[in-house]
A and B are shown apart, each in its own frame.
Chain A
Amino acid sequence: MIRQIVRSPLTVMFILAVFMGLLGLGAAAPEFFEEYDRIILTVTAVIGVGFFLLVMIHNRRHPSSKISMATWTPYEFKEEDEGLKWITLQACRKVYMFYYYAIPAAALVIFFFGDRRFVPFAALFLMGAIQYFIFWREERKYSRGQDVDEDEEF
């Protein structure tokens, strides 16, 4: 369960949604700004520590399949065998296609509305959230229906 949470693209999507909510709150309530930096730092620290604790708990419970803390490979990448690598490749391809259009679009938005402090951050967080959604959707497309066969015996 912990492994699924840590490795799911939806987890990162949720975290990005939290930050987008905070940005929205900051934009909607300017009086909130004085506390803003502290709140952002606190939320970041809570999420970071929570993530670290989850990995620690998982590694203690499952010493044979530890999640590495020191890796450059994103946790959502599944590369246990060639089939899973292929799924990851398909998902990365879709994400690349998304960024192919999203980056120029975001550049235009920032060019025209960048004078507002939160616009560049909102653009980044939104692109990140969409990236993880696309990755999750693509993974799910190829994994759909496989749980049914989990205990299938002939």
Chain B
Amino acid sequence: MANLTEGIADEVRINIKERILAMLENRVRELRARFRMSQSDLAEKVGITRQTVGLIEKGDYSPSVVLALKLAKVFGTTVEEVFWLRDQSGEKGEGND
């Protein structure tokens, strides 16, 4: 029983740590370059503004699931190929492995 409680506590601690340290990384800029698109081109295809493309590329703004799906669709790939979590130690986290 004590082991189970400790196990749950550890898991909660890890989840909280992950939530604090995890950062959303993306390769929108890289993919945009590969597809030879300007920010304006991509914005037009997805139906957003150029400013929002810039915000996402800089990592200032984490897009909604809907927008992430739309971006992935434009690049003909999956969301995990475009966005992934990275912790502050610099190690790549979930997705895109």
- Chain B proximity of A66: nearest CB distance (Å): 18
In the complex, A24→B58 CA distance in Å?
A: 44
- Could you say which residues of chain B place their CB within 8 Å of the CB of A151? 38
- Could you say which residues of chain A place their CB within 8 Å of the CB of B38? 149, 151-154
* B36 pairs with A82, CB closer than 8 A: no
Interface flags, B38-81, vs A, CB<8A=1, else 0: 11100000011111111110101101100100000000000000
- With an 8 A cutoff between CB atoms, is A37 at the interface? no
* A83 pairs with B56, CB closer than 8 A: yes
* B54 pairs with A146, CB closer than 8 A: yes
- Residue ranges of A at the interface with B (Cβ–Cβ < 8 Å): 80-84, 86-87, 142-143, 145-146, 149-154
- With an 8 A cutoff between CB atoms, is B37 at the interface? yes
With both beta carbons as reference points, the residue of chain A lying nearest to B56 in the complex is identified as: A83
Tally B residues with Cβ within 8 Å of A. 24
- Could you say which residues of chain B place their CB within 8 Å of the CB of A81? 47-49, 52
In the complex, A81→B60 CA distance in Å?
A: 15
- With an 8 A cutoff between CB atoms, is B86 at the interface? no
| Given A87-B55, A149-B39: A82 touches B63 (CB 8 Å cut-off) | yes
- With an 8 A cutoff between CB atoms, is B32 at the interface? yes
* B37 pairs with A142, CB closer than 8 A: no
In the complex, A86→B54 CA distance in Å?
A: 13
Q: Which residue, of B38, B39, B52, has the highest number of chain A Cβ atoms within 10 A?
A: B52
| Given A82-B67, A83-B48: A142 touches B55 (CB 8 Å cut-off) | yes
* A146 pairs with B51, CB closer than 8 A: yes
| Given A80-B49, A149-B39: A154 touches B32 (CB 8 Å cut-off) | yes
* B55 pairs with A149, CB closer than 8 A: no
In the complex, A133→B11 CA distance in Å?
A: 45
Q: Which residue, of A80, A151, A153, has the highest number of chain B Cβ atoms within 10 A?
A: A153
- Chain B proximity of A43: nearest CB distance (Å): 34
- With an 8 A cutoff between CB atoms, is B33 at the interface? yes
In the complex, A84→B49 CA distance in Å?
A: 8
Choose from A83, A146, A154 the contact partner of B33 (Cβ within 8 Å): A154
Q: List 26 A-B contacts (CB under 8 A).
A: A81-B47, A81-B52, A82-B48, A82-B63, A82-B67, A83-B48, A83-B55, A83-B56, A84-B49, A84-B52, A86-B55, A87-B55, A142-B60, A142-B61, A143-B54, A145-B54, A146-B39, A149-B38, A149-B54, A150-B40, A150-B50, A153-B36, A153-B38, A154-B32, A154-B33, A154-B34
